[in-house]
């Protein structure tokens, strides 16, 4: 199957290409960009020598009609316009949006956190999201023509806390998530706080005080898992940029609503994720770490009870460009195209 990437020069586009180039069912078709059009891919992704000489082109709906799937690896506010352009141009391919444009089901949430034109929500690209009602997320993806890939921070927090939310074991009014995030999550745009002089030997928070745009998406996922409303979940999210290129380590806490123990919580997680090939519940006493999942679609999770405070602490580690973006995009596309879910998905990490 031919697949194309719009936004191929960016970090997410490059990671999608790394997976697609080794995928047993995919062949790279068009590589598209805006300001980088006319240049060769090798200028941006020298790690992909087999594609280095392929030219980046402007988006042309006619040229993209042969693609079975088109991945949109663009900043928020751009993919909605490109998607509309493609559909207006007669493109019937599967569209997979790695940006935020089609994630939120609530226009009010979009207006509050993003602003600008609201685009209707697409099928959500998180197969592991457990739905309180039918159909399952995998069943929805199998019928999808348009997929919205989750945010990377959203994925980390959702996988860390989803079992607790689904079981009703935590107080939804005070969920606190602190994330150590690698710099590739900020994209390639040139900004002073992203320069090496600001990054090396430094940790810096951003989007503090309830302003991070992933907050309503996390609440939306918790509502899907529990059957409640997104407004029921009060989430404090504080991401901190740390000097690593890839990875997220999420620590999420909330008060327990009933008597429990670390042993019981661990058993809950093992049962909840036992059918999920990409999510590893670690042995008790072991803790997630980003290096173990670098370059892969794997997610490590762990949970513990702080008996003195009555708080439950759950942690997750993933590669923000891997399961946080590109691996999730390809995994979801596999389901929509009728392929085995894990075809081309990398389940082996790179360490050190």
**Cα(62)–Cα(64) distance, integer angstroms:** 5
pLDDT tens sequence across 177-229: 999 999 887 766 667 777 777 778 899 999 999 999 999 999 999 999 999 99
pLDDT score for 191: 73
pLDDT score for 187: 67
Q: What percentage of the chain reaches a pLDDT higher than 70?
A: 99
pLDDT tens sequence across 64-93: 999 999 999 998 889 999 999 999 999 999
pLDDT tens sequence across 30-47: 999 988 889 999 999 999
258: CB partners within 8 A, 6+ apart: 169
**What's the whole-number mean pLDDT along residues 60-65?**
96
Q: Taking the complete model, does pTM exceed 0.75, yes or no?
A: yes
Lookup result for tokens 């670098």: 294
Question: Could you tell me the two tokens for 189?
Answer: 């745009």
Nearest one of 19, 48, 222, 250 to 129, comparing CA atoms: 222
pLDDT score for 35: 82
Pairing of strands 204-205, 235-241: antiparallel
Given the residues 32, 98, 119, 152, select the one marked as catalytic: 152
**Cα(302)–Cα(222) distance, integer angstroms:** 18
pLDDT score for 224: 97
Decide if 131 is catalytic: no
Is the pLDDT score of 352 beyond 90? no
CB 311 within 8 A of CB 241: no
pLDDT score for 128: 98
**Cα(213)–Cα(271) distance, integer angstroms:** 31
pLDDT tens sequence across 144-185: 999 999 999 999 999 999 999 999 999 999 999 999 999 887
pLDDT tens sequence across 101-132: 999 999 999 999 999 999 999 999 999 999 99
**Cα(259)–Cα(257) distance, integer angstroms:** 7
Range 64-103 burial, b when 16+ CB lie within 10 A, else e: beebbbbbbbbbbebbbebbeebeeeebebbbbbbbbbbb
**Mean predicted lDDT score pLDDT of the chain:** 95
């Amino acid at each position: 199957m031919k697949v194309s990437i719009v936004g191929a020069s960016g970090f997410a586009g490059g990671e999608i290409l790394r997976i697609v180039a080794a995928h047993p069912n995919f062949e790279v078709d068009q590589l598209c960009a805006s300001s980088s059009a006319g240049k060769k891919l090798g200028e941006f992704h020298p790690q992909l020598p087999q594609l280095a000489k392929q030219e980046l082109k402007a988006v042309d709906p006619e040229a993209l009609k042969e693609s079975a799937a088109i991945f949109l690896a663009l900043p928020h506010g751009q993919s909605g316009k490109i998607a509309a352009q493609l559909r207006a141009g007669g493109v019937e391919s599967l569209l997979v949006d790695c940006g935020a444009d089609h994630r939120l089901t609530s226009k009010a949430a979009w207006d509050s956190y993003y602003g600008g034109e609201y685009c209707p929500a697409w099928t959500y690209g998180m197969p592991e999201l457990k739905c309180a009602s039918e159909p399952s997320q995998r069943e929805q993806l199998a019928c999808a023509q348009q997929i919205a890939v989750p945010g990377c921070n959203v994925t980390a927090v959702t996988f860390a806390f989803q079992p607790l939310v689904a079981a009703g074991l935590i107080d939804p009014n005070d969920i606190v998530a602190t994330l150590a995030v690698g710099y590739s999550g900020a994209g390639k745009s040139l900004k002073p706080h992203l320069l090496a002089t600001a990054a090396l030997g430094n940790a810096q928070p951003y989007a503090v005080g309830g302003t991070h745009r992933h907050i309503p998406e996390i609440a939306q996922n918790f509502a899907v898992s529990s059957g409640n409303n997104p407004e029921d979940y009060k989430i404090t999210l504080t991401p901190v940029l740390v000097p690593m290129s890839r990875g997220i380590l999420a620590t999420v806490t909330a008060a327990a609503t009933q008597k429990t123990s670390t042993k019981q919580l661990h058993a809950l997680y093992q049962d909840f994720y036992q059918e999920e090939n990409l999510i590893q519940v670690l042995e008790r006493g072991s803790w997630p770490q980003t290096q173990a999942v670098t370059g892969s679609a794997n997610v490590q999770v762990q949970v513990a009870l702080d008996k003195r405070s009555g708080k439950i602490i759950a942690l997750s580690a993933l590669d923000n460009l891997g399961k946080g973006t590109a691996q999730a995009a390809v995994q979801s596309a596999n389901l929509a195209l009728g392929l085995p879910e894990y075809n081309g998905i990398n389940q082996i990490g790179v360490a050190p």
